[in-house]
């Protein structure tokens, strides 16, 4: 038997190695494709058929140039700092919006699920609208939310968080409902035979049973909350945030493509970070369940 | 310890009361910083922080709005923000918008009024490579011509019709993005560009043939001001109903217009300082790009022969003419669409203090662009 600490260390090393390998594979594919395109003049080898993505330095800058951009200086207000630090600062702002969106959205999602569980008529009445809600394009929604928010005297960060909320509540509501409905009828009937009130059944049986359904939904919601915050920033305009940085770099893509790629990497990293946080929470919560079961 | 703390607080309160009493005066002269109260005001911009809006940022930064007893919040634009909509819905007190776009909103029923025509000229160009042979609108025949759409295409459409070109058949009209990629990669022959922004981006890009930056000599430019189809752009818009019914708002408008125009005068005389203010308010946009933009924006404002913020009737009529002939507007707007009342009041205040309100002697400077606009 391997001691626990060694097992953890092995796991960490394995994660680091696989991540590094994955990055390496992406870089090799990227540079390989670029090299091939430049050898053949932008065509598939041996044919006259054009490659789907142009391989010039604007569309596909060298991976090394993008990496170098992350450590080179950029202006932030009156001072300058490395782009990676700049992106971290912006990401911190976006993370706050996303966090509000995530927690608010999850609470609303679970609340709706409980409501639909309690009253069948609510499920029939609400579920179609919850689905419809996600077909409303954000481009239509953003001005409505921000105009309403400003008329209420709320800062724009609240409006952006609400856009993020709008994206996050959906997966949580749908999965939570399925999770709450997941216990066997035998278990539900057992609770009934104890004359357990509805609330007790909810907290002692249904919510614990919903956990394996909830965490995948939380993971989707967490990444969506980042997407929502970034889209919200671009859509209604803020002075800071990752979305704002992406917008600025996109406008100057033609003269500085490396920065746009770097900021996209920053956004992806933030998405991975929140995903990781939820995974950690999941491990903590579900491990406890296992112990109970054992 | 505790007593000392209490004493300090009491002392502070007394001091503040005295200061407030000294400041409070019933016959507060406008624009002197002698304020009975300060009004909270918000201004909605069309786009992110850049030198295009330097005058407003400078008026905040230099305490000019303070002098007019205003506490101004400048709101940046976003992709989905329509400034005149923010204004009409009450989410903003004032908005900066191009004249034709705002007039379309007005025709749709938004009660908004142009209270200061800040830009006297249009900044829109159609840019192509010098060797493309496109030097005037007639040369667009048979070419691939880019524009941004969304109401940005009318100067081009009217300009080509003026020389007998039918935009739907005599050239290929394509929608382009806001970067200059399509021109740089040769996808399109002529690209729409603002003289203060996208045009400079080309000059910040490296010419792969020479390894150096592109120069103005590499480019050929059609300027709609010369063609005669230019349309008025950045102006300050206010809420018409509030102007008519709310004396307080009308007074705030007077002070806001005066403070804003003074901000623009500051940027005319202190362009380096305004570039610095914009950089401090914005973030990642390059310093030389903003310096270029500041210089070009000053060129769109100055000289203002009738005084800064005044409506150039000829340009207004031209804008309306293009708008109606291009069917942007169903009919010419009524006379309430703009007023020079507030700009005139501002000019009185400014000239009363001996400030230059026309910029007759302003001359553009030469700005050196660095790679990537840094």
Q: What digits encode the pLDDT tens for the residues A226-246?
A: 999 999 999 888 888 999 999
Q: Place A121 in a pLDDT band, splitting at 50, 70 and 90.
A: confident
Partner residue opposite A234 with nearest CB, options B78, B201, B373: B78
Judged on CB neighbours under 10 Å (0-12, 13-18, 19+), B102 is buried
CB atoms < 10 A from the CB of B345, how many? Answer: 17
Helix crossing, A83-118 with A242-251: angle to 10°? 120
Contacts of B56 (CB under 8 A, 6+ apart): B43, B45, B72, B74, B96, B260, B263
The predicted pLDDT at position B368 comes to 94
Is the minimum CB–CB distance between A253 and chain B shorter than 8 Å?
A: yes
The predicted pLDDT at position A5 comes to 67
Percent of chain A at pLDDT > 90 equals 53
Per-residue H/E/C for B172-196: EEEECCCCCHHHHCCCCCEEEEECC
Q: What share of chain A is helix, strand, coil (3-state, %, to 5)?
A: 80, 5, 20
Distance from CA of A135 to the nearest CA of B (A): 18
Is 80 exceeded by the pLDDT of residue A125? yes
Partner residue opposite A76 with nearest CB, options B204, B284, B371: B284
> Given an 8 Å threshold on Cβ–Cβ distance, is A151 in contact with B89?
yes
Mean pLDDT of A7-29: 91
CA-to-CA distance for A216 and B84, rounded, in angstroms?
A: 43
The predicted pLDDT at position A289 comes to 57
The predicted pLDDT at position B26 comes to 38
Give yes or no for a contact between B152 and B124, defined as CB atoms under 8 angstroms apart: yes
Work out the mean pLDDT of chain A and round it to a whole number. Answer: 89
**Residues pairing with B192 in the sheet:** B126
> Given an 8 Å threshold on Cβ–Cβ distance, is B281 in contact with A146?
no
| Closest-approach residue (CA) in chain A for B74 | A239
- Kindly list the residues from chain B whose CB atom is less than 8 angstroms away from the CB atom of residue A89: none
Q: Which residue numbers in chain B have pLDDT < 50? A: 1-3, 17-28
The predicted pLDDT at position B284 comes to 64
Q: Place A222 in a pLDDT band, splitting at 50, 70 and 90.
A: very high
Q: Token pair for residue A212?
A: 């394996």
Is 70 exceeded by the pLDDT of residue A97? yes
CB atoms < 10 A from the CB of A131, how many? Answer: 12
Distance from CA of A172 to the nearest CA of B (A): 27
> Given an 8 Å threshold on Cβ–Cβ distance, is B80 in contact with A58?
no
Q: Is A199 helix (H, G, I), strand (E, B) or coil?
A: helix
CA-to-CA distance for B276 and B280, rounded, in angstroms?
A: 6
Domains and CATH numbers, chain B: 39-121+232-373 (3.40.190.10), 124-227 (3.40.190.10)
Percent of chain A at pLDDT > 70 equals 96
Best of A136, A252, A262 to disrupt the B interface (most B CBs within 10 Å) is A252
CB atoms < 10 A from the CB of B47, how many? Answer: 19
Mean pLDDT of A136-150: 88
H/E run at residue B47: none
The predicted pLDDT at position A21 comes to 95
Best of A236, A247, A254, A259 to disrupt the B interface (most B CBs within 10 Å) is A254
| Closest-approach residue (CA) in chain A for B205 | A255
Give yes or no for a contact between B140 and B134, defined as CB atoms under 8 angstroms apart: yes
Nearest to residue B263, comparing CAs of B66, B114, B30, B82?
Answer: B66
Give Cα separations from A53 to A20, A59, A60, A61, B114 (angstroms).
Answer: 25, 8, 9, 12, 46
- Kindly list the residues from chain A whose CB atom is less than 8 angstroms away from the CB atom of residue B373: 252, 255
> Given an 8 Å threshold on Cβ–Cβ distance, is A75 in contact with B78?
no
Size of interface A-B (CB pairs under 8 A): 106
The predicted pLDDT at position B301 comes to 97
> Given an 8 Å threshold on Cβ–Cβ distance, is B184 in contact with A58?
yes
Give Cα separations from B188 to A96, A107, B128, B197 (angstroms).
Answer: 42, 50, 9, 19
> Given an 8 Å threshold on Cβ–Cβ distance, is A77 in contact with B184?
no
Best of B76, B92, B273, B284 to disrupt the A interface (most A CBs within 10 Å) is B284
Reported as a single tens digit per residue, the pLDDT across A247-291 is 989 888 888 899 999 999 999 999 999 999 999 999 888 876 554
Mean pLDDT of A165-176: 94
The predicted pLDDT at position B177 comes to 86
CA-to-CA distance for B311 and B304, rounded, in angstroms?
A: 9
Mean pLDDT of A87-105: 95
- Kindly list the residues from chain B whose CB atom is less than 8 angstroms away from the CB atom of residue A238: 76, 78
Q: What is the pTM of this model?
A: 0.86
Alpha carbon of residue B290 to chain centroid: 14
The predicted pLDDT at position B156 comes to 94
Interface residues of B toward A, Cβ cutoff 8 Å, are 42, 48-49, 75-82, 85-86, 89-92, 178-181, 184-185, 201, 204-205, 276, 279-287, 371-374
Distance from CA of B279 to the nearest CA of A (A): 5
> Given an 8 Å threshold on Cβ–Cβ distance, is A252 in contact with B373?
yes
| Closest-approach residue (CA) in chain B for A87 | B284
> Given an 8 Å threshold on Cβ–Cβ distance, is B75 in contact with A146?
no
Residue B340 backbone zone (phi > 0: left; psi -120 to 50: alpha; other: beta): alpha
Contacts of A262 (CB under 8 A, 6+ apart): A66, A69, A70, A83, A84, A87, A249
Handedness of CA A249, B148, A236, B260 (dihedral sign): positive
Cis peptide before B303 (omega within 30 of 0): yes
Distance from CA of A54 to the nearest CA of B (A): 11
């Amino acid at each position: 038997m391997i001691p626990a600490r060694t097992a953890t260390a092995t796991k960490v090393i394995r994660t680091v190695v696989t991540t590094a390998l994955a990055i390496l594979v992406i870089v090799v594919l990227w540079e390989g494709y670029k090299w091939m395109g430049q050898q053949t003049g932008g065509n598939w080898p041996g044919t006259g058929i054009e490659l789907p993505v142009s391989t010039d330095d604007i569309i596909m800058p060298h991976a090394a140039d993008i990496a170098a951009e992350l450590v080179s200086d950029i202006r932030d207000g009156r001072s300058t700092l490395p782009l990676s630090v700049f992106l971290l600062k912006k990401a911190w702002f976006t993370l706050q919006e996303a966090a509000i969106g995530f927690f608010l959205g999850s609470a609303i999602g679970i609340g709706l699920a409980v409501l639909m569980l309690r009253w069948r008529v609510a499920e029939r009445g609400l579920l179609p609208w919850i689905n419809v809600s996600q077909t409303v394009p954000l481009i239509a929604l953003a001005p409505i939310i921000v105009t309403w928010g400003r008329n209420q005297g709320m800062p724009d960060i609240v409006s952006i968080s609400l856009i993020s909320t709008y994206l996050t509540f959906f997966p949580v509501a749908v999965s939570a409902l399925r999770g709450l409905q997941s216990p066997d009828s035998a278990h539900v009937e057992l609770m009934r035979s104890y004359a357990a009130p509805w609330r007790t059944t909810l907290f002692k049986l249904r919510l614990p049973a919903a956990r394996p359904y909830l965490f995948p939904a939380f993971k989707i919601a967490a990444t969506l909350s980042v997407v929502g915050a970034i889209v919200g920033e671009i859509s209604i305009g803020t002075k800071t945030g990752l979305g704002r940085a992406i917008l600025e770099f996109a406008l100057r893509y033609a003269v500085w493509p490396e920065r746009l790629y770097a900021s996209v990497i920053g956004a992806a990293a933030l998405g991975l970070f929140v995903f990781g946080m939820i995974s950690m929470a999941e491990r903590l919560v579900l491990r406890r369940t296992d112990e109970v079961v054992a | 310890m505790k007593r000392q703390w209490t004493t300090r607080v009491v002392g502070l309160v007394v001091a503040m009361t005295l200061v407030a009493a000294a400041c409070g005066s019933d016959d507060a002269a406008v624009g002197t910083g002698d304020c009975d109260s300060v009004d909270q005001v918000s201004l909605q911009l069309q786009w992110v922080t850049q030198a295009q809006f330097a005058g407003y940022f400078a008026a905040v930064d230099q305490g000019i709005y303070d002098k007019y007893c205003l506490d101004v919040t400048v709101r940046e634009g976003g992709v989905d923000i329509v400034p005149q909509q923010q204004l009409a819905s009450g989410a903003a007190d004032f908005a900066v918008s191009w004249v034709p776009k705002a007039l379309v909103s007005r025709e749709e029923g938004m009660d908004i009024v142009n209270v200061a025509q800040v830009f006297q000229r249009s900044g829109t160009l159609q840019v192509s490579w010098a060797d493309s042979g496109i030097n005037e609108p007639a040369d667009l025949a048979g070419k691939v011509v880019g524009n941004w759409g969304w109401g940005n295409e009318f100067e081009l459409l009217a300009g080509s019709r003026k020389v007998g070109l039918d935009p739907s058949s005599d050239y290929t009209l394509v929608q382009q993005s806001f970067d200059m990629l399509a021109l740089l990669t040769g996808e399109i022959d002529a690209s729409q560009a603002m003289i203060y922004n996208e045009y400079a981006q080309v000059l910040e890009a490296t010419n792969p043939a020479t390894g150096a930056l592109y120069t103005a000599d590499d480019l050929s430019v059609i300027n709609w001001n010369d063609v005669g189809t230019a349309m008025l752009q950045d102006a300050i818009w206010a809420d018409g109903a509030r102007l008519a019914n709310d004396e307080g708002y009308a007074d705030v408008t007077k002070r806001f217009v005066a403070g804003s125009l003074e901000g623009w005068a500051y940027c005319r005389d202190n362009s380096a300082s305004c570039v610095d203010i914009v950089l401090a308010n914005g973030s990642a946009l390059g310093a030389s790009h903003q310096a270029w933009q500041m210089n070009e924006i000053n060129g769109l404002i100055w000289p203002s022969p009738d005084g800064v913020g005044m409506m150039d009737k000829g340009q207004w009529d031209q804008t309306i003419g293009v708008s109606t002939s291009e069917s942007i507007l169903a009919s010419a707007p009524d006379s309430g669409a703009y007023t020079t009342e507030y700009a005139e009041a501002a000019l009185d205040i400014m000239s009363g203090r001996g400030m230059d309100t026309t910029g007759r002697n302003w001359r553009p400077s030469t700005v050196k662009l660095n790679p990537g606009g840094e």
